[in-house]
Structure 1
Amino acid sequence: MAMEMAYPNWTADVPDMYQVYGNSGNTSEMPVINVWSWNLGQQMAVLRQLVNQYRYISVDCKFPGLISRPVGTFHSTSEYHFQTLRTNVDMVDVIQIGLTLTDAVGNVAPGSPGTWQFNFKFNAQQDMCSAESLEVLGQSGFEFQKHEQEGIDVFAFAELLLDSGLVLNDQITWISFHAGYDLGYIVSAMLNKNIPVERSLYLSLVGLYFPNVFDVKTLIKKYKLSDKNGLHDVIQEFGIYRGSSYCLAGADSRLVALCYFEVVRLIGENNARAVKNCIFGLQDDKKDEDDIYNRYFHR
């Protein structure tokens, strides 16, 4: 008889003054485990245990807007998109990273929300940001004072992540929606420096840290599943319940997972694998999208 894995108490040793579940400290209809500086080590230990069985990691990052556009001559649209990504990742700090861990069919661990929301140090008065984006984030439930006082040091997070088994592991599959920025922030943190100027080198690093990546937006566009561009518009079209916690990294990482498994249901695993490691907007696609569509759907 198979032994059921014993999972830890997700909220153990949490001070009474804090609520672990919720958006950025408040109860949510899509519960997440909030991670701050004081429970970072504990929750990373939980993830190290879970990733042995729950090997599909959906990610979403929140940062306070785009503040820079590159100037100059670019050889391709992909190069322009990458340089825009690079300059903004270098200048604008990440505020939240959401991770949702599931098995190969989308199930989370029993008794767990399955979603972790890492809240990073951020000073709204001093750090680079877009005022418009800051307003949107504030309306979504971000507690900027708490981020300033209790936020995680991004490099402390990266150090634990490197030793977690979540990265540098070809048994793990990472999932994102428009993955460039999500992976860019994590790569930059793990490098402890700016991401490379060369797009090819950046993509090589993505391949090193994340050997298996699925960009849901790439899948949707390749197989013409929707003409929508944003995650929330796509899931609405797919009939996936969004809840009211959108614009928060934890809840959105859960939505990314739901969207991915719905896409795989629609197109099949083999068709999904055909565009593995294709980051939307960053790679020059030499194949015509209609040819790929016809190849797999025989239309």
Structure 2
Amino acid sequence: MWIKEVWQGNFLPEVCVLDKIMQRYSFVAMDTEFTGFLHVPSRNASEDEHYHDLKYNTDRMRLTQIGFTLFDDEGNIGGTWQFNFRKSPGVSFKKNQRGGLNLEGVDMNLFATTFRNLVKSHHGIKWITFHGLYDMAYVVKLVTGSPLPDSSMEFIESLGNIVGRVYDVKYIAKYCRGLLCGEMGLERMANMLGVCRLGIAHQAGSDALLTACVYLEMKEVYQLIEERFEGFLYGVSTKIEKNYELVTICCPPQYLQHLTRCSPFNSICVGLDQLSICNI
């Protein structure tokens, strides 16, 4: 198992590799790291109040990393990618060279455009999260290029349009004897199941890989029937239903050339007519 660090300098080649490998694996575990919380709901808050705080935080905070681990039903791991983003919108922070690679964070608009087309090209993928409400909120924000919808029902509909087949390990643990109804963090759950971490906690790549390994262990130990858990996120009562309505995003014109001329992008390259170009 390995974790590939992705920066602006190796973004396009690694996305090409990710696109190719996604053709062979049916599961993607994901994790996000972001700049924090401004509002923290009370323990007794209603679901609507929780969503209000989710929207408030997600609209105002930024992603710093997103991690993906590809795997299949047999437990084969296809690899883990950790995308590191620029620290501030529109600002380029040059870091030191490492192994000849310029460690500049990935531009968020370029990533959003590419991610949307990866999702569309691999629409049969099953997305695995751990306590994934914020992970999925940032996915919606990324792909739509807009603030989150005003209501939780609109959010669920948008999420169904984008990813659809979602499984939340913390939600599943509620129904697994001995896992304390899921009332624990990822690290403790992994320890209880005898799953070891690769990498550092609270790094998106390491957490995505650990989420994948925990899910696979749970499937084996508890003989899970995964269809029973599809579409449910921990803390959300409404099931997420997948449909294939396209979601329009905004892409600055300067990035279109990267997407349309990159010949290795056989399945995710898009033409000018498929992108909504907005002035950002």
TM-score w.r.t. length of structure 2: 0.74
Corresponding residue of 1:119: 84
* 1:207 CA drift (Å): 1.2
Q: 1:237 to 1:64 in 2, by over 3 A?
A: same
Corresponding residue of 1:102: 71
Corresponding residue of 1:190: 143
Q: 2:112 aligns with which of 123, 148, 158?
A: 158
How many residues get paired?
A: 228
SS in 1 for 2:14: helix
Kindly provide the CA deviation profile for residues 173-223 of structure 1, in whole angstroms up to 9, marking residues without a partner as x: 000001111111111011001110110011111111112111000000133
Alpha-carbon distance between aligned partners in 2 of 1:229 and 1:84, rounded to the nearest angstrom: 21
Corresponding residue of 1:175: 128
Residues 190, 214 of structure 2: 8 Å contact kept: yes
Alpha-carbon distance between aligned partners in 2 of 1:224 and 1:230, rounded to the nearest angstrom: 16
Equivalent positions of 1:237-248 (< 5 A) are: 237-243=192-198, 245-248=200-203
* 1:283 CA drift (Å): 1.8
Q: 1:31 to 1:169 in 2, by over 3 A?
A: closer
Q: Is 2:186 aligned against 1:231?
A: yes
Amino acid at match of 1:150: E
Q: Which moved more, 1:209-218 or 1:78-87?
A: 78-87
Q: Is 2:58 aligned against 1:89?
A: yes
Corresponding residue of 2:25: 54
Amino acid at match of 1:117: Q
Equivalent positions of 1:118-137 (< 5 A) are: 118-123=83-88
* 1:145 CA drift (Å): 7.2
Amino acid at match of 2:86: K
Residues 236, 242 of structure 1: 8 Å contact kept: no
Percent identity over the alignment is 29
Alpha-carbon distance between aligned partners in 2 of 1:153 and 1:54, rounded to the nearest angstrom: 26
Kindly provide the CA deviation profile for residues 233-290 of structure 1, in whole angstroms up to 9, marking residues without a partner as x: 11011111124511110011000000111111122242x32121101112269xxxxx
SS in 2 for 1:95: strand
Alpha-carbon distance between aligned partners in 2 of 1:79 and 1:46, rounded to the nearest angstrom: 40
Cα RMSD (Å): 2.6
Corresponding residue of 2:205: 250
Kindly provide the CA deviation profile for residues 81-110 of structure 1, in whole angstroms up to 9, marking residues without a partner as x: 22221111111101000000112222123x
Residues 169, 211 of structure 1: 8 Å contact kept: no
Structure 1, unaligned runs of 5 or more: 1-29, 128-143, 286-299
Q: 1:46 to 1:168 in 2, by over 3 A?
A: closer
Alpha-carbon distance between aligned partners in 2 of 1:84 and 1:239, rounded to the nearest angstrom: 34
Corresponding residue of 2:158: 205
Equivalent positions of 1:3-22 (< 5 A) are: none
Corresponding residue of 2:48: 79
Q: Is 2:225 aligned against 1:260?
A: no
SS in 1 for 2:63: coil
Alpha-carbon distance between aligned partners in 1 of 2:95 and 2:211, rounded to the nearest angstrom: 26
